[in-house]
Amino acid sequence: QARLEESGGGSVQTGESLMLSCKYTNRRACMAWFRQAPGKEREAVAVIYTPDPSGRKRYHDSAEGRFTISHDNAEKTVALRMTSLKPEDTAMYYCAAGSRLYGGVCIMRAPDFDTWGQGAQVTVSS
């Protein structure tokens, strides 16, 4: 069973940047970052297919162009670099791992991931 531990959350102002890191014990094919704001459903922010050295990546529309997911196999980490942060990015961010693929593609749905970290809070104030 993989174990995941997030770090790097915090409070920033609009337009600033943050880096989240997820340390894992066992690499899974699909590693992702999800977020959940109070009263809202958990949504996928970014996912990466780790067996591919170039790392096939997918992003939520709201994260495209602002967030970057990356994977370091040697360090056993998955990072999420977030730039141009907005108040609507405020949420608890979760690292997730899974092995379910559809046509060789990681799907950005919470039920497709079976291992979760404890979460890291990101707060963006205006």
Q: What is the DSSP string of 44-107?
A: EEEEEETTSTT-EEEE-TTTTTTEEEEEETTTTEEEEEE-S--GGG-EEEEEEEE--EETTEE-
What pLDDT sits at residue 53?
A: 77
Average pLDDT, the chain: 95
Binning pLDDT at 50, 70 and 90, where does residue 1 land? low
- Owner of token pair 């997911």: 69
- Compute CA distances 117 → 31, 36, 78, 94, whole Å: 11, 13, 12, 6
What pLDDT sits at residue 18?
A: 98
Decide: helix, strand or coil at residue 2: coil
Q: How far apart are CA 86 and CA 81, in angstroms?
A: 14
Q: Virtual CA dihedral for 25, 31, 33, 36, nearest 10 degrees? A: -90
Binning pLDDT at 50, 70 and 90, where does residue 55 land? confident
Q: How far apart are CA 79 and CA 123, in angstroms?
A: 18
